[in-house]
Amino acid sequence: MTVRTRAAVVHQRGGSFTFEDVEIDNPRSDEVLVRIVACGICHTDIAARDGLFAMQFPAVFGHEGAGIVEIVGTAVARIRAGDKVVLSFSSCGECSSCDEGHPAHCVAFYELNFGNARVNGTSTIWTAQGEPVGGCFFGQSSLAYYALTHERNLIPVDDADDDELALFSSLGCGIQAGAGTVLNELRPKPNESLVVFGAGSVGLAALMAARLVGAAPIVAVDIVSSRLELAKELGATFVINGTKEDLGARLREIVGDVDHAVETTGLSRVIDKAIRSLGPRGNVSLLGVSADEGDISPTSPGPHQRVFYSIAGDSDPQKFIPFLIRCHKEGKFPFNKLIREYPASEINTAVKDSLDGVTIKPVLRF
């Protein structure tokens, strides 16, 4: 049995998102069907569309869904039909990383989140003609009116209305990753400096997290003036426009040696500048996803410097997303200021606005 619905299908690498009729499998015993109320658009969706993860086409992307549970499989224990949920990345729940509270480092992370299908190779989404469609993106493929997922992907938010579900959807990946890498990995102490390279949703989430723990000074670097203005509103002590100022000289003037840096662009030349800005014991978290082929080779870190790639900010969504929601409700994490909503039918406009820097965090309403 299947559920007929509509999903944003991409037919070829770099192609447009087109809403089409599809068939989604009914849940198996360990699966959950969610009616999607809203879905954020993350740069990772765009990178996947452009072929970065070798996804099968046609494909349905989307990994920042939020909605209402419709059907649960017979083996599902924690989630019930009618629950309001935010969707995040998938993990096995059985390996040592999952067992120790680090599901972003799950041994099956790639297969569960980028495998095009269930781990056993079976498809979950089909064209109206019965042909398989690449799915299970981050265990959800939620750029659709319904998504088939698993219990571990779901974070209950039972008191949320549809507007709050739309807001909370954006926590599923990018904002969680930016805040997580600061709070879970870099862990700056009060009055340690932190520089964010790229003031998009990930970078601004990192900035707000740095403000939560008293890092200072906090510096935002970008090339879009409107984003730098928002960065100041959200807690940046200083901002630097990379097209108008000498970045290295300005950082030396403001900070001296940088204690912590968050690099969100994925561009080799920016990674190089981030590493060069560090003090002798500085740390930089690399969070960018890019098809950049590297016009330069980034500087090698010093013997006591740490450069690492962050996966989802080493977050446990079951704990970290409720924490971010609490911080938001207390006025300490105003991530709502990053978001602009679009009707689902305007998905390609939302993607273009994101790429052009017009919108920081697009969220589609279904």
For the stretch 40-73, pLDDT in tens is 999 999 999 998 887 889 999 999 999 999 999 9
Higher pLDDT pick, 124 / 56: 124
What pTM does this model have?
A: 0.94
Q: Is the peptide bond before 217 cis (omega within 30 degrees of 0)?
A: yes
What contacts 43, CB < 8 A, 6 or more positions away?
174, 200, 202, 289, 354
pLDDT computed for residue 53 by the predictor: 81
103-106's contacts with Cβ under 8 Å and 24+ in sequence apart are 103/152, 103/316, 103/317, 104/311, 104/312, 104/313, 104/314, 104/315, 104/316, 105/311, 105/314
Residues 90, 142: Cα–Cα separation, whole Å: 13
DSSP summary character for residue 144 = B
Whether omega before 58 lies within 30 degrees of 0, making that bond cis, reads yes
pLDDT tens figures, 68-83: 999 999 999 999 999 9
pLDDT, tens digit (0-9, with 9 covering 90-100), for 177-187 = 999 999 999 99
pLDDT tens, residue by residue, 229-243: 999 999 999 999 999
Supply the pLDDT for residue 246: 92
Task: Calculate mean pLDDT across residues 9-30.
Answer: 96
Domains along the chain? 2-172+334-365 (3.90.180.10), 178-311 (3.40.50.720)
pLDDT at 295: 64
At residue 325 the predicted structure's pLDDT band, cuts being 50, 70 and 90, is very high
Map tokens 């690099």 to a residue.
263
CB 16 within 8 A of CB 125: no
The rounded distance, in Å, linking the Cα atoms of 264 and 5 is: 35
Contact 164, 147 (CB under 8 A): no
Helix 247-254 / helix 268-277 crossing angle, nearest 10 deg: 30
Split at pLDDT 50, 70, 90, the class of 292 is low
Query: Is the pLDDT assigned to residue 291 strictly greater than 70?
Result: no
| Residue carrying structure tokens 């070798």 | 54
